[in-house]
């Protein structure tokens, strides 16, 4: 059950984060703004991570390290591109498209990790695609 609480907290915090990224990206230099964002995120991550590490064992293997590095690089590139997209695009359209990353996650989970797809997951993917159409077309 904890994972659901964590996931809902992420939804709320990612939504708030994207709102502030939109406000930040409309300045003079969205790439510089993304660097400020990542720096603040890094500091907060170190402080919060240190706190949570005091409550658990610090145990990492090489796979955790290499996948963490690969994910961090992907996140860095995506963050800069997200700021650039929000520089001229409306948050109400850019954010739903960007959050279609869930399709990539589901696909990778199914194909590489062997996670199961049932009718509910398939329907969720179809509705997610339909939501992009509904949210990004029109005024």
Of the chain, the percentage scoring pLDDT greater than 70 comes to 98
Taking residues 10-21, report their average pLDDT: 92
Residues 76, 120, single domain; the answer is no
Would residue 45 count as lying in a domain?
Answer: yes
95 domain-assigned: no
- Cβ pair 124, 100 in contact under 8 A: no
Would you state the pLDDT for residue 138?
Answer: 60
Same domain for 52 and 82, yes or no, is yes
Position 82 in a domain: yes
pLDDT reading at 21 higher than 90:
yes
126 has pLDDT over 60: yes
- pLDDT at position 139 is 56
Q: What is the token pair recorded at 93?
A: 């359209």
Rounded distance, CA 80 to CA 26, Å?
13
Residues of the domain holding 137: 100-139
């Amino acid at each position: 059950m904890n994972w659901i609480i964590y996931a809902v907290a992420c939804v709320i915090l990612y939504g708030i984060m994207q709102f502030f990224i939109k406000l930040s990206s409309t300045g003079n230099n969205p790439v510089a703004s993304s660097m400020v964002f990542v720096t603040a995120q890094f500091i907060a991550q170190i402080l919060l991570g240190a706190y949570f590490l005091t409550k658990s064992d610090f145990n990492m293997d090489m796979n955790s390290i290499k996948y963490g590095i690969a994910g961090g690089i992907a996140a860095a590139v995506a963050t800069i591109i997200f700021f650039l997209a929000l520089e001229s695009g409306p948050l109400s359209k850019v954010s739903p498209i960007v959050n279609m990353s869930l399709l990539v996650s589901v696909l990778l989970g199914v194909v590489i990790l062997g996670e199961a797809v049932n009718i509910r997951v398939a329907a969720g993917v179809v509705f997610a695609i339909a939501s992009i159409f509904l949210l990004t077309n029109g005024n």
